[in-house]
Amino acid sequence: MVHIHSVLAKIGPKDKKFGVKARINGTLNITLNLVKQNLQNHRLVLPCLQLLRVYSANSVNSVSLGKNGVVELMFKIIGPFSKKNSGLMKVALDTLAALLKSKTNARRAVDRGYVQVLLTIYVDWHRHDNRHRNMLIRKGILQSLKSVTNIKLGRKAFIDANGMKILYNTSQECLAVRTLDPLVNTSSLIMRKCFPKNRLPLPTIKSSFHFQLPVIPVTGPVAQLYSLPPEVDDVVDESDDNDDIDLEAENETENEDDLDQNLKNYDLISKEPKPLVFEGKVRGPIVVPTAGEEASGNSANLRKGVTVKEGLSPKGDESDKKRPFMDLAKEGIKDNDRTLQQQLGDQNRTVSSVHGLNNDIVKALDRITLQNIPSQTASGFTAGMKKDYSLPLTVVSCTKACPHMATCGNVLFEGRTVQLGKLCCTGVETEDDEEDTESTSSVEQASVEVSDGTTLHDSDLYIEIVKNTKSVPEYSEVAYPDYFGHIPPPFKEPILERPYGVQRTKIAQDIERLIHQNDIIDRVVYDLDNPNYTIPEEGDTLKFNSKFESGNLRKVIQIRKNEYDLILNSDINSNHYHQWFYFEVSGMRPGVAYRFNIINCEKSNSQFNYGMQPLMYSVQEALNARPWWTRVGTDICYYKNHFSRSSVAAGGQKGKSYYTITFTINFPHKDDVCYFAYHYPYTYSTLQMHLQKLESAHNPQQIYFRKDVLCETLSGNSCPLVTITAMPESNYYEHICQFRNRPYVFLSARVHPGETNASWVMKGTLEYLMSNNPTAQSLRECYIFKIVPMLNPDGVINGNHRCSLSGEDLNRQWQSPNPDLHPTIYHAKGLLQYLAAVKRLPLVYCDYHGHSRKKNVFMYGCSIKETVWHTSDNATSCDVVEDAGYKTLPKILSHIAPAFCMSSCSFVVEKSKESTARVVVWREIGVQRSYTMESTLCGCDQGKYKGLQIGTRELEEMGAKFCVGLLRLKRLTSPLEYNMPSSLLDLENDLIESSCKVTSPTTYVLDEDEPRFLEEVDYSAESNDELDVELAENVGDYEPSAQEEVLSDSESSRTYLP
């Protein structure tokens, strides 16, 4: 019998049906009875236990064996420390761990008090195994505890038996020996699983701020939010017993374009993109031309066009009150008329030539105008933009305390009071005058190096613009970094190397909160929900604030002397989307390590786990000639915590947890004022300031620049629409024709407020287009650019992460935008539809985004063939014929832009993304080259910037390189216009192709495309963890979703089409 069982124990694991066959043939009880009858015969019991371990891999067998007393039998074999029979003990523990994965057996073990027994045995082995020769036995005990705590009763029994303190103490004693890491990791996993679920310390998970919508949606999350009775506790579900927790198979709504597992249900062929045909009736909103009929060159018509404008101009005074600039009321309409007369006058031959020319421009470009926008408003804007703000900016406006700013709250604004950051008013540490002078000049020099043209930042203009920026909380403060401005630091910032075991250490400190509760201060030091909270007076307590544009911080709780839990505010009219943060900290002491924990994040992973650092702006540093955001923080990690998410905010799923971003910071100065942000902030007021500075600085004889209002947002802010192209050389017919026949390029950005990097890329694009660079001039001569630089102004202003004030993701509303709830999308789509209707379909549409879980810059495009290739079971039978021109621009960018990565691009159209801008513009409008360009929030892992975190300089460079790519695209698509020899064109194309190392028609990358961590424990696991003993040592810091597991298998074995 010994030999038979030994043979069966060896061949059993090789047969997946072995357990079923054993049960059918009635051999389970034979082996079990042999063990019962021969407990003292270790030579016979050992192979029988090995066979029972194989049997127990089948869940039905486990239940059957459990009914026959196998669990009780195992506890007769395992026991306290002994130098004898350690091999038998190890096999018995492995068998027990497999048996306890059955909930029935786990309940039986809990009912008989075996959780306490296992803990007692573990402590005994821990104390006596001084030389660590029996680590496998100790780990086997932990594996049994891990299995039994998969059920709620097991977790309760573990807590009642003081298991948290036992495992915490033993694991801390094991930290000194690296070979014992598997024990520490498994102990951490058990403790985290058993840590009691807490509710977020909030009265409601809905945003602290509320905005009354003009229309309440009938269905969807916003409708559910409004229909909830006020007495419902939406923070956590009482019915959630945490017993059946998912294994992180989360379907994240990550930025714009991640592969959806429902692709195979997608009807692709029937939805082939078709150019919009104008047949009198056009589906959806159409923008009606307002500039009269097609220009015919008749001078009477030209004069009529001017007369119309002049006739409307007196109404500009009425619209001045609505304009977002304080100077508009001071600008007379006469100035506008005088400017027009200067442009249209016939004082000499040159100006006479321009007379007909500019009116033709008005006829050609003003035809593409906006719906529901009073013409007097546009006229008023034209008048208002004439004020010159191009005064030279001294980057460091003061290097000492600024007494003249002490009254800024009363003097700068006669109406609404707006205050600047406190440090500028109260004084700072300063250096000697000579040092200050030197630093000032050095920063000015640095500023010149960063920007070739006039700087776009003007602090006084920024304050002027902020006055008319409308926010739901009615912010009255201005964040110092936004007022003072940011220049890129003169040094590179490498991706942070992750220290071994940092996450484990952080989690151990969290567990200490439960074990040593008397050490916890638990004091609220900032609370948006309770305006009457008392600000602590103690000198060693930090003070927080986020009541300024784009700020987001809801509540701060002091946990220990130098540790704070931070809670972010939900997007307005929403109960989730917590990721973007921007807040102020003051009252710090240098040389002290402060730990910040942002405890209500929702994404299952983050680049904070892969070297990304948060950003900090020190006012003291800025006043000492270093006005820049810098990457800071050590011991950074992102992990699942013990705060429970309500099913109301988790799509109906119960048992989900929030995630924590934690980092440690040492402040350089005493009593400084510092600002922290998820990424480089870029506010709505900053955009308006930049646009106004660009307009005032450009050469109107060379550059056609016009800023219109696309529409008003829900809260009454204007959504700017920018038009940029080159002025024609003259009013000759051929020049006017070339001007009017230029293809359009339509660009948009910042539909998701938390993706501030998209605005920095857009800033690079705008600056390049308005520059005096000869290439930029060629580009303007090639295209007419229609640009919506901020599609979601309200979300940006109010510190949202993803939504507008409607509580909805605007990038999921492009199919059927509601003019009342999604005005910016409604009008942007209408403008695109109008362009298509008048046969001026854009050559390229690109929507700028940011990506929180990938590195580099890359694009998502649209291709029927590649989508079919991904979804078809028989890819070789795909005979879809398609122009491959959609790949040209990404390939060009991979050749010229160092941050761009072609291998991260994808051209698959997913079912879950059918209502995004990229897909709708491709399918409904008919733009073949319709893209989303994603920029990393972290850094690059290839090319020139490999190993570096991305900064504003690199992001702006990407925006400029995108423009250069468009010019090269024009050369490739229109070689005759450039008189390029075909051989030269082929050579350039070959260079682009050779530089793109692409191995497949599409190179889709998984949501989590990072390598696994060196740390051995799966910190994201909660319960129902079915990992084998051998695998537990090698699991990374996060558990892949079910979708990722499936895809990763297919990725490794995929055969790519040529």
Catalytic residues: 934
Tokens of 1001: 């028609």
Strand partners, 788: 748
* Residue from 810, 43, 718 nearest 384 by CA: 718
For the chain, what is the total number of helices (H) and then of strands (E)?
Answer: 39, 20
**CA pair distance 177, 603, nearest whole angstrom:** 34
Instruction: Tell me the Ramachandran region of residue 1010: left when phi exceeds 0, alpha when psi lies from -120 to 50, beta otherwise.
Output: beta
**CA pair distance 168, 379, nearest whole angstrom:** 70
* Residue from 215, 252, 285 nearest 806 by CA: 215
* Residue from 588, 569, 607, 532 nearest 850 by CA: 607
Torsion of CA 516, 517, 523, 527, to 10 degrees: 100
**CA pair distance 233, 586, nearest whole angstrom:** 34
Calculate the alpha carbon distances from 155 to 116, 162, 1055 in Å: 12, 11, 46
Tokens of 891: 């390939």
Tokens of 402: 């600024």
479 CB-near residues (< 8 Å, 6+ apart)? 421, 548, 549, 550, 551, 582, 584, 675, 681
Report yes or no: 717 and 797 within 8 Å, Cβ to Cβ. yes
Instruction: Tell me the Ramachandran region of residue 280: left when phi exceeds 0, alpha when psi lies from -120 to 50, beta otherwise.
Output: left
613 CB-near residues (< 8 Å, 6+ apart)? 493, 496, 631, 632, 633, 636, 663, 949
Please write down the long-range contacts of 105-111, taking CB distance under 8 Å and 24 or more positions apart. 105/62, 105/63, 105/66, 105/71, 106/147, 106/148, 106/150, 106/151, 106/153, 106/154, 107/151, 107/153, 108/66, 108/71, 109/71, 109/148, 109/154, 110/148, 110/151, 110/153, 110/154, 110/157
Calculate the alpha carbon distances from 14 to 11, 482, 571 in Å: 5, 65, 53
Report yes or no: 738 and 807 within 8 Å, Cβ to Cβ. no
Q: Directed axis angle between helix 42-55 and helix 28-37, to 10°?
A: 150
Report yes or no: 104 and 69 within 8 Å, Cβ to Cβ. no
347 CB-near residues (< 8 Å, 6+ apart)? none
Q: What are the two backbone dihedrals, phi and then psi, of residue 412, each rounded to the nearest 5 degrees?
A: -60, -40
* Residue from 332, 257, 346, 100 nearest 904 by CA: 257
Which helix H or strand E contains 545, and what residues bound it? strand 543-545
205 CB-near residues (< 8 Å, 6+ apart)? 234, 235, 570, 575, 576, 646, 648, 649
**CA pair distance 75, 78, nearest whole angstrom:** 5
- Number of neighbouring beta carbons within 10 Å of residue 1048: 12
Kindly state the DSSP code that residue 406 receives in the 8-state scheme.
Answer: T
Q: Where are the alpha helices (DSSP H) in 475-523?
A: 480-484, 502-515
Residue labelled with tokens 């450039």: 978
SS3 category, 116: helix
| E-strand stretches of 489-542 | 523-527
